[in-house]
């Protein structure tokens, strides 16, 4: 862990890094909070909204079963949305910072 | 080394052969056991070949702990799935669905959602900051010796709980499936797993996990195709036939008891797809959910998988693949479970294993043509072998995680002060693996017959209350420091374990004795009751702790008629035994074939009842003898003090709180100085451990 070659405080203070930090924090917290709320709706709904969960909507398939299946779909969608965003934006922003560091601009 | 490996393979092969000699009964009939051993043999041979190949490129510490950081994202995704889909989730969840319907499926959701936490906040920073262990991440900006010691202790605690559950569960499973003695199964699993870990390190472990995950997914897809295809892959049509099945309706009626009397068979079937047959306490579920969602990201053997990939991008790819595989697998278990309920029947499934673990294997046997067919038994053998591979792969991952904590954190980091030579480090890693392996085998044998199911939930609760707050706050909170980490990890671990020790998971002799007496002496009649209004609970804390003056909520109850007394076991047996000769005598005089068949069915039912009653009586008598004179649990309690089965709801917030308080009230220069470096590195990957060049 040789930290002698890099001025970490300068990189941290750099506007490019600060922009990456802000974007990431906002995006990650948003997804995290949404996914936790959505997940806990399942046990809460199953316990306290029995009538809604037991309503048949597709043959014998009830709302509760579809909601449980939707948990899987939502988890996959969150994973997909995050990886799209990270691959397209976060990685590029991080690479730009790395390039600046390597070329001595930071 | 290859000479040693050959000898080892021979001894494993010899054990397989002696295993055949020891085989008693199990789900696989004796005449088909050779098939199971053949499939076992093939799988063991494949994994040994992998180990042999991996051993040739496992020389350095980085190769031993992290497979030279050369595992690709997709490979790591499969390996994570192989590490995570333990026998409990592979056989257990299908079993829960086959016995309890909807609740079993709902239970599986949390295990997938957990990976969102892993993906968003843990995987990439850990790859950028970490080296081989969780201790490395915590030691980055905190006092290395102190944090490594606490991290290693926590890692070993979590792994030991999980490992014990796997060893005991695995031993029981192999016995139920093919009848090999418990001790031999445990030793066999232990030796095989040690061979993978000691010779092939992380590379062999990774490829054993990948192989197992591919086998598991393939087997499940084939079974689901066979179950679902007859309905043209229509979900409503398939489930319609599940709820119309008499076996399923009978199971629901059994679970509901008195309430089922007023329901039509159609309502009973539909009830199978509605919540509430298994999970009755929503607060307990939320507590478990919290432990799963935050605990998975703190499991040392899962964290360790992110050190094996070359970059943070590969770590990201691996979680995405793992989520696809794990989630897809749980969706498949919906069909495996309901299919087993409809085709095999909950009665038969729970008669072989009360927890339902045999649902998947029995479904495979049925779909292949049943108990007497070659294909049916081949498919059962295949699923049994996959279950075996599952146990070995999961145990290998856990042993590697604890061995790395022992060797890398404690020995190299704390005792040798990071001055061990590369050769010394690899030797330490291998020695630690052998030590952990021997401990795992010993604990597995000692814990025979113990109820270890709650240990899995406890492992997740400790990981969520101790490891996650420490790792999360160290990565994302500038003020976090050594004191906070140590306070949080110790308080989180102690609270989680302490609450479980006084929870309903423990055995309370008074309750066991009371229910045994009920079986033996029967129950008195319950007088008719008038209508009862709903009762509201006195306070929320009463849902969590048994305190004086607590009133628990009760729904309104309609007036009920008098319930007759229930006879004791001896009385019941006498009645049944008296009935049998009369039935058998009348059989000879019945001429009509239809009536004769009905009489024969009656006799079979009485005989089955006698067997069941005798079994219940023997168990009640054994319980009475075992707990004679005892009134309190090992903690000295007559009844549980903490009312939830999972401690997460209390221990997780407490773990976070202690890290925060400990950090706010103390100052640590190094923790502050290193923050910039840690934060820049975790976000950019500058200076991260590189893949080793071959």
Query: CA-CA distance, B482 to B475, in Å (whole number)?
Result: 13
Q: Spell out which residues of chain A touch residue B680, defining contact as CB-CB under 8 Å.
A: 6, 8, 11-12, 17
Tell me the mean pLDDT in the region B621-635.
86
Query: CA-CA distance, B363 to B376, in Å (whole number)?
Result: 9
Residue B11: pLDDT over 80: no
Choosing among A22, A71, A74, A100, which should be mutated to test the B contact, i.e. which has the most B CBs within 10 A?
Answer: A71
Q: Which residues pair with A62 in a beta bridge?
A: A56
Query: CA-CA distance, B190 to B182, in Å (whole number)?
Result: 12
Per-window interface: B 123-152 vs A, CB < 8 A: 140
Question: Residue B71 contacts by C-beta under 8 Å, 6 or more apart in sequence?
Answer: B79, B206, B308, B309, B314
A80 touches B at CB < 8 Å: yes
Q: Spell out which residues of chain B touch residue A58, defining contact as CB-CB under 8 Å.
A: 235-236
Residues of B124-147 as b/e, b for ≥16 C-beta within 10 angstroms? bbbbbbbbbbbbbbbbbbbbbbbb
Question: What is the structure's pLDDT at A3?
Answer: 42
Question: What is the structure's pLDDT at B451?
Answer: 72
CB pair distance less than 8 Å for A39 and B110: yes
Question: What is the structure's pLDDT at B297?
Answer: 93
Which phi and psi angles does B639 have, rounded to 5°? -145, 160
What is the reported pTM? 0.90
Per-window interface: B 253-282 vs A, CB < 8 A: 270, 273-276, 279, 282
A77 touches B at CB < 8 Å: no
- Give the lowest-confidence range in A67-81, B13-27, B354-368: B13-27
- The pLDDT tens digits for B402-456 are 999 999 999 999 999 888 998 999 999 999 999 999 999 999 999 887 777 778 8
Question: What is the structure's pLDDT at B20?
Answer: 39
B122 touches A at CB < 8 Å: no
Question: What is the structure's pLDDT at B455?
Answer: 86
Q: How confident is the model at residue A36 (pLDDT cuts 50, 70, 90)?
A: very high
Question: What is the structure's pLDDT at B21?
Answer: 37
Choosing among A65, A80, A81, A83, which should be mutated to test the B contact, i.e. which has the most B CBs within 10 A?
Answer: A65
CB pair distance less than 8 Å for B677 and A72: no
Residue B22: pLDDT over 50: no
CB pair distance less than 8 Å for B236 and A91: no
Nearest neighbour of B270 by CB, restricted to A36, A60, A71: A60
Q: In angstroms, how far apart are the furthest CA atoms of chain A?
A: 67
Residue B17: pLDDT over 70: no
Q: In angstroms, how far apart are the furthest CA atoms of chain B?
A: 96
The larger pLDDT score, comparing residue B46 to residue B355, is at B46
Q: How confident is the model at residue B607 (pLDDT cuts 50, 70, 90)?
A: confident
Torsion-angle region of residue B369: left (phi > 0), alpha (psi -120 to 50) or beta?
A: left
Question: What is the structure's pLDDT at B25?
Answer: 63
Q: Spell out which residues of chain A touch residue B236, defining contact as CB-CB under 8 Å.
A: 58-61
Tell me the mean pLDDT in the region B303-324.
96
Residue B345: pLDDT over 60: yes
Tell me the mean pLDDT in the region B339-349.
94
Q: How confident is the model at residue B529 (pLDDT cuts 50, 70, 90)?
A: confident
CA distance A22 to chain B (A): 12
Report the residue of chain A nearest B329, measured CA to CA.
A72
Tell me the mean pLDDT in the region A62-69.
97
Q: Spell out which residues of chain B touch residue A42, defining contact as CB-CB under 8 Å.
A: 106, 109
- The pLDDT tens digits for B379-401 are 988 888 888 888 888 999 999 99
CB pair distance less than 8 Å for B116 and A8: no
The total number of structural domains that make up chain B: 1
Tell me the mean pLDDT in the region B20-47.
76
Question: What is the structure's pLDDT at B691?
Answer: 77
CB pair distance less than 8 Å for B686 and A53: no
CB pair distance less than 8 Å for A65 and B273: yes
Tell me the mean pLDDT in the region B4-15.
46
CA distance B109 to chain A (A): 7
Question: Residue B175 contacts by C-beta under 8 Å, 6 or more apart in sequence?
Answer: B26, B181, B182, B185
Tell me the mean pLDDT in the region B92-99.
92
Question: What is the structure's pLDDT at A78?
Answer: 97
Does the ipTM exceed 0.90?
A: yes
CB pair distance less than 8 Å for B331 and A68: no
- The pLDDT tens digits for B103-137 are 999 989 999 999 999 999 999 999 999 899 999 99
Question: Which of B348, B339, B342 lies closest to B371 in space, CA to CA?
Answer: B348
Question: Residue B404 contacts by C-beta under 8 Å, 6 or more apart in sequence?
Answer: B65, B132, B133, B304, B429, B432
A43 touches B at CB < 8 Å: yes
A89 touches B at CB < 8 Å: no
CB pair distance less than 8 Å for B102 and A36: no
Q: Spell out which residues of chain A touch residue B331, defining contact as CB-CB under 8 Å.
A: 69, 72
Estimate the crossing angle of helix B482-501 against helix B468-476, to 10 degrees: 160
- The pLDDT tens digits for B150-189 are 999 999 999 999 998 888 888 888 888 878 889 998 999 9
Q: How confident is the model at residue B692 (pLDDT cuts 50, 70, 90)?
A: low
CA distance A100 to chain B (A): 12
Choosing among A15, A47, A64, which should be mutated to test the B contact, i.e. which has the most B CBs within 10 A?
Answer: A47
Tell me how many degrees the CA angle B232-B236-B237 measures, rounded to the nearest 5: 45
CB pair distance less than 8 Å for A39 and B289: yes
CB pair distance less than 8 Å for B676 and A9: yes
Report the residue of chain B nearest A3, measured CA to CA.
B677
Question: Residue B282 contacts by C-beta under 8 Å, 6 or more apart in sequence?
Answer: A43, A44, A46, A47, A48
Residue B305: pLDDT over 80: yes
- The pLDDT tens digits for B455-480 are 888 999 999 999 999 999 999 999 99
Question: What is the structure's pLDDT at A102?
Answer: 87
Question: Which of B252, B251, B269, B271 lies closest to B347 in space, CA to CA?
Answer: B251
pLDDT, averaged across chain B: 89
Question: What is the structure's pLDDT at B693?
Answer: 53
Q: Spell out which residues of chain B touch residue A40, defining contact as CB-CB under 8 Å.
A: 286, 289
Residue A14: pLDDT over 80: yes
Query: Looking at residue B224, which CATH number applies to its domain?
Result: 1.20.1730.10
Q: Spell out which residues of chain A touch residue B293, defining contact as CB-CB under 8 Å.
A: 36, 39
Residues B151, B154, B158, B164, CA torsion sign = positive
Question: B80 lies in which domain range?
Answer: 47-506+643-684
Question: What is the structure's pLDDT at B287?
Answer: 93
Estimate the crossing angle of helix B102-117 against helix A63-85, to 10 degrees: 10
With respect to residue B521, please indicate whether it lies within any of the assigned structural domains: no
Query: CA-CA distance, B110 to B326, in Å (whole number)?
Result: 11
> DSSP letter at B552?
-
Query: CA-CA distance, B101 to B239, in Å (whole number)?
Result: 11
Classified as helix, coil or strand, B506 is coil
B109 touches A at CB < 8 Å: yes
Tell me the mean pLDDT in the region B31-53.
89
Question: What is the structure's pLDDT at B585?
Answer: 83
CB pair distance less than 8 Å for B113 and A39: yes
> DSSP letter at B565?
P
Query: CA-CA distance, B180 to B357, in Å (whole number)?
Result: 17
B13 touches A at CB < 8 Å: no
Question: Which of B180, B147, B111, B108 lies closest to B489 in space, CA to CA?
Answer: B147
Residue A52: pLDDT over 90: yes
Estimate the crossing angle of helix A15-48 against helix B102-117, to 10 degrees: 170
How many CB pairs below 8 Å do chains A and B form together?
150
Tell me the mean pLDDT in the region B272-300.
92
- The pLDDT tens digits for B649-686 are 999 999 999 999 999 999 999 999 999 999 999 999 99
């Amino acid at each position: 862990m040789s930290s002698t070659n890099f001025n970490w405080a300068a990189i941290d203070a750099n506007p490019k890094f600060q922009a990456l930090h802000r974007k990431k924090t906002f995006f990650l917290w948003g997804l995290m909070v949404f996914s936790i709320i959505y997940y806990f709706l399942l046990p809460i709904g199953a316990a306290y909204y029995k009538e809604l969960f037991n309503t048949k909507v597709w043959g014998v398939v009830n709302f509760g079963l579809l909601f449980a299946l939707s948990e899987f779909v939502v988890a996959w969608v969150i994973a997909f949305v995050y990886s799209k965003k990270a691959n397209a934006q976060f990685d590029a922003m991080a690479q730009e910072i790395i390039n600046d560091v390597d070329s001595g601009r930071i | 080394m290859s000479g040693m490996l050959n000898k080892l393979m021979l001894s494993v092969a010899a054990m397989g052969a002696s295993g055949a000699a020891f085989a008693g009964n199990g789900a696989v009939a004796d005449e088909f056991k050779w098939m199971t051993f053949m499939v076992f043999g093939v799988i063991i041979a494949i994994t040994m070949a992998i180990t042999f190949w991996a051993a040739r490129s496992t020389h350095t510490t980085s190769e031993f702990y992290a497979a030279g950081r050369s595992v690709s994202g997709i490979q790591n995704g499969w390996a994570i799935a192989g590490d995570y889909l333990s026998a409990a989730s592979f056989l257990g969840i299908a079993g829960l669905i086959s016995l309890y319907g909807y609740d079993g499926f709902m239970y599986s959701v949390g295990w997938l959602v957990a990976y969102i936490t892993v993906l968003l906040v843990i995987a990439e920073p850990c790859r950028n900051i970490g080296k081989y262990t969780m201790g490395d991440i915590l030691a980055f900006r905190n006092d290395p010796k102190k944090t490594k010691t606490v991290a290693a202790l926590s890692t070993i605690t979590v792994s030991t709980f999980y490992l014990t559950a796997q060893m005991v569960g695995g031993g029981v499973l192999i016995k139920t499936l093919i009848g090999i003695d418990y001790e031999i199964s445990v030793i066999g699993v232990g030796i095989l797993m040690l061979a993978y870990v000691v010779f092939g390190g992380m590379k062999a472990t990774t490829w054993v996990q990948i192989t197992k995950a591919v086998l598991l997914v393939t087997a499940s897809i084939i079974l689901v195709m066979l179950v679902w295809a007859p309905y043209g892959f229509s979900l409503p049509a398939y489930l319609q036939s599940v709820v119309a099945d008499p076996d399923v309706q009978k199971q629901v009626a059994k679970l509901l008891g008195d309430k089922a009397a007023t329901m039509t068979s159609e309502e009973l079937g539909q009830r199978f797809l509605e919540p509430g047959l298994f999970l009755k306490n929503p607060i307990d579920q939320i507590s478990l959910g919290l432990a799963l969602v935050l605990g998975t990201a703190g499991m040392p053997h899962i964290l360790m998988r992110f050190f094996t990939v070359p970059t943070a991008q590969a770590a990201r790819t691996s979680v995405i693949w793992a989520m696809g595989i794990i989630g897809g697998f749980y969706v498949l278990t919906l069909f495996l479970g309901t299919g087993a309920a409809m085709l095999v029947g909950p009665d038969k499934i729970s008669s072989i294993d009360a927890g339902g673990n045999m649902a998947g294997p029995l479904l495979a046997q049925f779909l292949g043509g049943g108990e007497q067919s070659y294909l049916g038994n081949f498919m059962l053998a295949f699923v049994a072998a996959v279950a075996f591979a599952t146990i070995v792969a999961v145990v290998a991952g856990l042993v590697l995680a604890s061995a790395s904590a022992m060797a890398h954190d404690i020995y190299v980091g704390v005792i040798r002060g990071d001055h061990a030579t590369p050769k010394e480090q690899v030797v330490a890693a291998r020695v630690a693996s052998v030590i952990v392996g021997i401990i795992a085998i010993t604990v597995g044998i000692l814990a025979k017959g113990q109820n270890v199911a709650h240990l899995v939930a406890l492992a997740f609760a400790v990981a969520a209350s101790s490891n996650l707050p420490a790792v999360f706050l160290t990565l994302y909170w500038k003020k976090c420091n050594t004191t906070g980490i140590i306070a949080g990890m110790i308080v989180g671990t102690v609270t989680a374990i302490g609450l479980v020790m006084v929870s309903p998971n423990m055995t309370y002799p008074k309750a066991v004795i009371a229910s045994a007496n009920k079986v033996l002496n029967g129950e008195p009649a319950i007088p008719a009751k008038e209508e009862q209004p709903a009762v509201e609970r006195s306070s929320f804390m009463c849902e969590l702790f048994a305190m004086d003056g607590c009133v628990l909520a009760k729904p309104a109850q309609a007036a009920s008629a008098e319930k007759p007394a229930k006879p004791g076991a001896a009385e019941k047996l006498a009645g049944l035994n008296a009935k049998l000769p009369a039935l058998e005598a009348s059989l000879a005089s019945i001429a009509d074939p239809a009536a004769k068949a009905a009489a024969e069915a009656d006799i079979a039912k009485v005989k089955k009842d006698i067997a069941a009653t005798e079994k219940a009586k023997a168990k009640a008598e054994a319980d009475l003898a075992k707990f004679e004179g005892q009134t309190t649990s090992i903690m000295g309690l007559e009844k549980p003090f903490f009312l939830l089965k999972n401690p997460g709801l209390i221990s997780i917030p407490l773990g976070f709180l202690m890290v925060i308080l400990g950090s706010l009230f103390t100052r640590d220069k190094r923790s502050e100085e290193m923050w910039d470096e840690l934060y820049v590195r975790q976000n950019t990957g500058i200076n991260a451990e590189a893949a080793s060049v071959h």
